[in-house]
Copies of this chain bind each other. A is one copy, B any other.
Amino acid sequence: MKTISRREFAGVSAAGLGLAALPVRAQAPAGSKPVGYAAIGLGTISEIFMRSCEGSSSAKITALVTGHPKEKGEKFAAQYGIPLTSIYTYETFDRIRDNKDVDAVYIGLPNGMHREFTLRAAAAGKHVLCEKPMANTSAECREMIEACRKAAVKLMIAYRIQYEPLWAEAVRMIRAGEIGEVESFQGGFFNQQRAGAWRLNKKLAGGGPIFDLGVYPLNAIRMITGEEPKSFTGIIGTREAGDRFAEVEQSMEWGMKFPSGIIASCSCSYGARAPGYFRINGSNSGLIFEPAFNYDGLRLRGMAAGKPVDIASPNKHPYMFTIQAEHFANCVRSNEQPRSTGEDGLKDILAIEAIYKAAGSPIA
């Protein structure tokens, strides 16, 4: 199989391979001001988000919200040319309503804090780009949607895979019938978490690895099928003795069936080290992403339209975050609905709740 080169698969530049309809960087119109983001929570994911806006003409970091205004706040303020008056703490955050340089917030906080800061951002009149998973419960998601609706601010969930050009190319192949009728999906994502990590704290994380990792194949299957799963199975596994998995389970395998008859099985774990994968099985051929959900280096293999497919994504991290930040900025500027809405986030949490219900006790 050949590997399509950077020249052939142009990725974010939208040239080559008929990528016109694929996610592309949304440049700001000439002379217009970039959309200003306040980054809330200055952990790893927010650092990536901030870096992804460097050099963008449409998205710019203009404020910081942090529990460590001296250490983290002043460091990143210097790095991104942000005035010290635009550094907020979680206590002073609500004053951001008076900051004209801030159009939107990026919420890179633990899941259990998404609801609170979405509500406070909406109350401050700021648009909300919130990390996945949307929240700990479907009830929280509904509150977030309602708060943004009432405040007339936009709400987007940061499903970066929906903005990834190679994934968009796979979706194009599938929708064009190039693998025949889609029959099933299998996907998994695995990432070790150390003892003490917030993702192992149920109050902060909402639950186990399906919240942080399993949501990737879940959202991808819903994106490709355009359907909502109607029945569920779940199996929870915690092999490891000791305290690491005292609050959330180590691993989960789950199954789903969709109204069309499409079926799926998925996996996720905080205890295993293995490459993530995503398989789409059609009546004529199959496609395989592996790695599937990494920050870069994605690879799509298989057969489509009767021909071998082997495409390595040429794009470098944090390109998905850049496309995402610019997409939401463009939606804010043009008053358009973002691609990955709060309703999309809610539907994943509803599925996760149904999977836990099918699995029984969340720690087994």
Contacts and interface: CB of A to CB of B under 8 A. Distances in A.
B261 A184 contact: no
9 contacts: A186-B265, A186-B267, A188-B279, A190-B281, A253-B265, A271-B283, A272-B283, A274-B281, A274-B285
Interface string A219-253: 00000000000010111111110000000001111
Contacts of A236: 263
A238 B264 contact: no
Query: How many protomers of this protein does the assembly include?
Result: 2
A100 interface: no
The interface centre, meaning the residue of A271, A285, A302, A303 with most chain B CB atoms within 10 A of its CB, is A271
A281 B285 contact: no
A166 to B, nearest CB: 19
A112 to B, nearest CB: 26
Contacts of A255: 233-235, 253-255, 265
**Which size bracket describes the interface of A in this complex?**
35 or more
B231 A235 contact: yes
Contacts of A279: 188, 274, 277
Nearest to A181: B239
A150 B266 CA distance: 45
Interface in A176-229: 180-181, 183-184, 186, 188, 190, 192
Contacts of A235: 231, 233, 255-257, 263, 265
The interface centre, meaning the residue of A181, A255, A271, A303 with most chain B CB atoms within 10 A of its CB, is A255
B273 A184 contact: no
B262 A190 contact: no
A210 to B, nearest CB: 13
A234 B233 contact: yes
Contacts of A251: 183-184, 263
Contacts of A263: 235-237, 251-253
A269 B281 contact: yes
A138 B332 CA distance: 62
Contacts of A275: 286, 288, 302
